[in-house]
Structure 1
Amino acid sequence: MFEVNDIPPIDGWELQQLIAENVQHEEFLFFRFYAGDEQDYFGPDSYTKRYECFCTACRERFTEPHSAGPASKWRICPRCGRSVTPKRWAANDHAAALRKVSFAFHFFQVGPHGELWLTSCQVRMYPYFLIEKYTAFEYCRYVFSAAGAKKWSWQYDGWALRKNCTFRHWYDMGGGRRDDFWVLPSEQELAASALRYSQLTEAFAVLHDLTGYLALYCKYPAVEYLWKMGFGRWLQEREQGGGDYFRRLVNLRAKEPKKLFRGLGKADLRLLREKQPSVSAAAEYKRLKTAGVVRADDTGICFATSASIVRFDTLFLADRCGVTAPELRKYMEKQARRSAQLLPTLMQELMDYHDQLARMQIGGEKLPHDLHEAHARLSERERRLMNREKNEKFRTRRHLLAWMRWKYKGMFIRPVDSAEEIVREGEEQNNCVAGFADRHADGKTIIMVLRRCSEPRKPWHTVEIDPATLKCRQCYAAHNHKRTPEAAEFMDKYLDHLREVTKMIRRSA
């Protein structure tokens, strides 16, 4: 196996040229005042004030007369015509500007034994630009061959071998990630290497961790057939966290392409290539196909995709319902046709329905005739059971606050009636009053509803009263809009009424 110093050497000037040819970045035009050659009293520039300039794009040093305009406004180099950023040429200014141009540069080299080496460099523009344009520092080396893959990273005491070949980015001192520039091997170079069948170009266009993919190819060369069969995007999903589904679906240890997907035939692969499902949906399709639940058709891939979206375990739920898995699939498809609901929605409703039966410890139909209606009915029943204790508190509060009811000019106000009503009030008014349910039930606040007598069941304004001072904390219309002038007049009169009532109570006491 190869060692870190087996990498093919590259000349410094050759590396400078490689970077210059493949990297586009900000270029500068540095300028300073220049009064001509003081020793040449009779020269043409002796008494002509000029700018002394240096362009980092063409690396030319030249002078321009002041009559050409202020150099701080130049955006094009007068010599090479390249776009530039003008900067004053001073001891610190030009060095600071050049140091800001930094990036990561990665390039491949083919070794003498057909191995492919990748070098990652930290590159900055050289502050003393009269010597060279770039300064490059290697921070990672990789080698890929038929014997496997290796990665080394630079430490303070030298190169250190790493356990994995995942790609390493370059981060600056502030934690920001630098831009990456790649130079891929040419077709001739790649054809002469051990990675000639790695589909490197396709992988580079799709994947983020190219080195991880190349290490995977070195270990399992069968991965090339995924690109050829049209399933390369599954490698991207594997990279983004779908590795478990990928392993269930693909057998990378296969010695020949036909054994790459165990349990799937040619018709299945044609269907997967045509529909292009996610790797999780394809893994679920394989599982259901192996169990005889679905067939290689559009309905089969649709059912598997829906099941993967909501994590619907068809085999487990079929056993729970006392039917076969194909019968459960037919039941779900029939429910989707009759209720006009999406299949993933109905799958979620069936799982919720069985969870509700278990929580409430009641019997019921395992597969109701109308799933959507049965789920809604059971959800309402569960809400009533959950709100029973809270509604007892609401009922007590309603009796204690009965004296706060009041009518005036075709409007009336009363305490909220139940937990269900405060939730409905929040939904119809599009506000957060439902979050005050517990505080109202515990007596920490008072929630009232203000309505018109002509429409007693239609929400109009929601009111919060301070139980200690009987002052109005909030009074808003729908969508938390300000109260109407009519409601404002009512609330002013209502608060006066509350003050009179409390005075009468204190006198009688």
Structure 2
Amino acid sequence: MKKEEAAAFKAHKAHFGPISKGLKDYVENHVLLYSRYLFTKSVMRVQYAYCTHCRKQHRPEEPLKHNSKATCPECKSTCVVKKSHVGRKFMKDSVYVVYYEKSIIDPSVITAKGFFVRRDYTGDYKEVTTLYRPSCSYVFEMGGKSTMFCTGYWDEHEWYPRKNIVSEYSFYKNGTPCYTSIDSIKEAVADTPFQYSTWEHYSDGNDMTKFFGLYSKYPCIEFLTKMGYQYFVHAKLEGRRTYDAIKWSGKTVDAVLRLSKKDFKQFKEWKPRITESDETGALTLRLYQLTLKDRNRPPLDELKAIASAVMGIFLGMKPMFKYQNVRACAAYIERQKRKNSRVFGSRANVVSMWKDYMQQCEALGLDLTRNEVVFPHNLYTAHESTTSQVKIKISEIEAQRIAKRVAELEQYRFEMDGYIIRPALSGDEIIKEGKALRHCVGGYAERHAKGETNIFMLRKVADPDQPYFTLELKDGKIKQAYGYQHQQPTGDLKALIETFKKLKVEKRSGQKINKRKEAVAV
């Protein structure tokens, strides 16, 4: 650990005391309530039972059967019966527990600690104790000063800082039950700024660590929850789209929602709540914000309809708003999709081609202040024209980069049913591909060379040198697949690409190391 990290951990650690009685009680009497056993043995045909909870032995009134349940007469615990002579090689009860407490040095700060907890019955069942292995710790302080440290993969005594507050549930949900004490949260937040956080609305099935980390930085969460706009909080916690509708650093409702009091009142009357799953409502709010200065502002019902139509492409549309308002951009996309339905199978295809077209316009030095240039009457025809005008030149360095990338991307080579998918072999091949199929892949040569995207050729095995279809892979997804004049794959070819995606693309992009070795603290 570096000197600065060591100092930060010392300050972080100062907020914690030893394992508390409350944590032990929660583990013993709630989480591991099922981990109570009666081990039986017979001496001279007399059965005795030893309780692992109260550590007392008794003679059952009736013979106890292996794996049945029985009540210990000494401590009244419901226990599982185990014959002591039956093998216990894998008999371990393990859980992951998160427990909250107040800071011992600052009453306005709350803390949480995650423990890997185990009771090991593989040895002498009379000597079993509950073992706690610290896994991570959190300090939540208003003003965005929250911190998190976690232990090493192999050494519980080495602690490392985490840049962001995250839950460790994902490390243990591969088979280890995870628990968080809700009662400990209630006690910890009492008489602190966090008591107003509305955390109760977001405590379903998680350890709340990410929530408190977020609230310590963005207290506007309280506003959003109380006004019924919980969608944005859920989306922020879960990494979903908020469409930039919220100014998270805002101090007032008006500032947070980017609206005047008058506009907020109007929107709130129309949309009293934006619930967890109401993504359309969230985007409608953003479109309402974007149309504030429009002369002929669309009514809210129309904005809702636009939101439903463009939800999947809104991020791609944002550059359009530099040239036209929301209503005009949405209408343009719909017109182009209807005009060339064979070329544009979806609205996303229109946006993708428009972005390519704009890049080519900039390269050609066209006047982008003219509306007929930015939004041509027939986008497909205009794109064909600019594509033919752009001269694509690939430098020697870029050519070398593309050649090197062949080996890197060879792992994705795929052959099935008389077709083969392979990486582009050279810059010249990418250019010729675009010319032969009359689409814009040639413009991707430079980005392919830099590793910003990945271009693959789909060929017939019987005719491997003849361009057929071109694929673009980016961020573990197939972004585009086009044939001659932007023809989209159908039938068997579409099924082939889906199989390629499942067997090659998704399989490789999903290979992540997300497991820790489960060590037990003594």
With the length of structure 1 as denominator, give the TM-score of the two structures.
Answer: 0.55
Contact 1:272 1:282 in 2 (8 A): no
Residues matched between the structures, number: 354
Contact 1:230 1:273 in 2 (8 A): yes
Equivalent of 1:33 in 28, 41, 56: 41
Decide whether aligned partners of structure 1 residues 56 and 298 sit closer, same or farther in structure 2, where only a CA change above 3 A counts: farther
**Is 1:104 the counterpart of 2:103 in the alignment?**
no
Q: 1:55: how far off?
A: 3.8
Q: Deviation string for 1:293-338 (max 9, x for gaps)?
A: 8535222122023212234856766888xx86534556778999x9
For residue 253 of structure 1, what is the aligned residue in structure 2?
Answer: 249
Q: Deviation string for 1:278-304 (max 9, x for gaps)?
A: 287257525642463853522212202
Q: Deviation string for 1:48-86 (max 9, x for gaps)?
A: x22222344665532236x736x2262344647866543
Decide whether aligned partners of structure 1 residues 237 and 312 sit closer, same or farther in structure 2, where only a CA change above 3 A counts: closer
Decide whether aligned partners of structure 1 residues 82 and 330 sit closer, same or farther in structure 2, where only a CA change above 3 A counts: same
> Highest CA radius of gyration, 1 or 2?
1
Contact 1:105 1:120 in 2 (8 A): yes
CA distance in 2, matches of 1:324, 1:256: 28
Equivalent of 1:116 in 110, 113, 128: 110
Contact 1:107 1:183 in 2 (8 A): yes
Equivalent of 2:304 in 280, 295, 301: 301
Contact 1:50 1:64 in 2 (8 A): no
Q: 1:183: how far off?
A: 1.2
The residue type equivalent to 1:278 in the other structure is E
Q: Deviation string for 1:109-159 (max 9, x for gaps)?
A: 113533211121111125455456522222222111236212233454454
Contact 2:100 2:188 in 1 (8 A): no
CA distance in 1, matches of 2:170, 2:240: 26
Q: 1:17: how far off?
A: 1.8
**Structure-to-structure mapping, 1:6-405, within 5 angstroms:** 6-11=15-20, 14-23=22-31, 26-27=34-35, 29-35=37-43, 49-56=45-52, 60-64=56-60, 68=63, 71-72=65-66, 74-77=68-71, 79=73, 84-90=79-85, 93-94=87-88, 96-97=90-91, 99=92, 101-112=93-104, 113-127=107-121, 130=126, 133-146=129-142, 148-155=145-152, 156=155, 157-169=157-169, 171=171, 176=174, 178-184=176-182, 185=184, 187=186, 189-205=188-204, 208=206, 210-242=208-240, 245=242, 248-263=244-259, 265-266=263-264, 267-274=266-273, 276=275, 277-278=278-279, 281-282=283-284, 284-286=286-288, 288-290=290-292, 292=294, 295-311=298-314, 325-327=326-328, 329=330, 347-348=347-348, 351=351
Contact 1:87 1:93 in 2 (8 A): no
Q: Deviation string for 1:357-396 (max 9, x for gaps)?
A: 99xx9x999558xx9xx99xx9xxxxxxxxxxxxxxxxxx
Contact 2:227 2:273 in 1 (8 A): no
SS in 2 for 1:299: helix
Decide whether aligned partners of structure 1 residues 53 and 282 sit closer, same or farther in structure 2, where only a CA change above 3 A counts: farther
Decide whether aligned partners of structure 1 residues 96 and 60 sit closer, same or farther in structure 2, where only a CA change above 3 A counts: farther
SS in 1 for 2:117: strand
Contact 2:288 2:300 in 1 (8 A): no
Q: 1:182: how far off?
A: 0.9
Contact 2:110 2:188 in 1 (8 A): no
Q: 1:167: how far off?
A: 2.3
For residue 5 of structure 1, what is the aligned residue in structure 2?
Answer: 14
Decide whether aligned partners of structure 1 residues 302 and 146 sit closer, same or farther in structure 2, where only a CA change above 3 A counts: same
Contact 1:32 1:88 in 2 (8 A): yes
Contact 2:39 2:81 in 1 (8 A): yes
Decide whether aligned partners of structure 1 residues 301 and 10 sit closer, same or farther in structure 2, where only a CA change above 3 A counts: same
SS in 2 for 1:302: helix
CA distance in 1, matches of 2:355, 2:98: 54
CA distance in 2, matches of 1:352, 1:158: 48
For residue 482 of structure 1, what is the aligned residue in structure 2?
Answer: none
Q: CA RMSD, aligned part only?
A: 4.8
Higher mean C-alpha deviation, range 117-126 or range 345-354: 345-354
Decide whether aligned partners of structure 1 residues 325 and 222 sit closer, same or farther in structure 2, where only a CA change above 3 A counts: closer
Contact 1:88 1:94 in 2 (8 A): no
Decide whether aligned partners of structure 1 residues 62 and 94 sit closer, same or farther in structure 2, where only a CA change above 3 A counts: farther
Contact 1:220 1:252 in 2 (8 A): yes
CA distance in 1, matches of 2:322, 2:186: 56
The residue type equivalent to 2:279 in the other structure is S
SS in 2 for 1:102: strand
Q: 1:259: how far off?
A: 1.0
Decide whether aligned partners of structure 1 residues 347 and 63 sit closer, same or farther in structure 2, where only a CA change above 3 A counts: same
Decide whether aligned partners of structure 1 residues 58 and 229 sit closer, same or farther in structure 2, where only a CA change above 3 A counts: farther
Decide whether aligned partners of structure 1 residues 353 and 85 sit closer, same or farther in structure 2, where only a CA change above 3 A counts: same
Q: 1:204: how far off?
A: 2.0
Q: 1:194: how far off?
A: 3.5
SS in 2 for 1:252: coil
With the length of structure 2 as denominator, give the TM-score of the two structures.
Answer: 0.54
Contact 2:70 2:79 in 1 (8 A): yes
Decide whether aligned partners of structure 1 residues 314 and 9 sit closer, same or farther in structure 2, where only a CA change above 3 A counts: closer
Contact 1:225 1:257 in 2 (8 A): yes
Contact 2:180 2:207 in 1 (8 A): no
SS in 2 for 1:146: coil
SS in 2 for 1:119: strand
The residue type equivalent to 2:196 in the other structure is Y
For residue 459 of structure 1, what is the aligned residue in structure 2?
Answer: none
Contact 2:38 2:72 in 1 (8 A): no
Decide whether aligned partners of structure 1 residues 188 and 367 sit closer, same or farther in structure 2, where only a CA change above 3 A counts: same
Q: 1:218: how far off?
A: 1.8
The residue type equivalent to 1:193 in the other structure is T
Q: 1:178: how far off?
A: 2.3
CA distance in 2, matches of 1:111, 1:319: 50
The residue type equivalent to 2:15 in the other structure is D
CA distance in 2, matches of 1:354, 1:335: 10
Contact 2:72 2:79 in 1 (8 A): no
CA distance in 1, matches of 2:125, 2:146: 38
The residue type equivalent to 2:192 in the other structure is S
The residue type equivalent to 1:306 in the other structure is A
For residue 394 of structure 2, what is the aligned residue in structure 1?
Answer: none
CA distance in 1, matches of 2:352, 2:16: 60
The residue type equivalent to 1:168 in the other structure is E
Task: Provide structure 2 residue ranges, at least 5 long, that are not aligned to the other structure.
Answer: 1-7, 362-371, 385-457, 465-522
Decide whether aligned partners of structure 1 residues 353 and 105 sit closer, same or farther in structure 2, where only a CA change above 3 A counts: closer
The residue type equivalent to 1:149 in the other structure is S
Q: 1:190: how far off?
A: 2.1
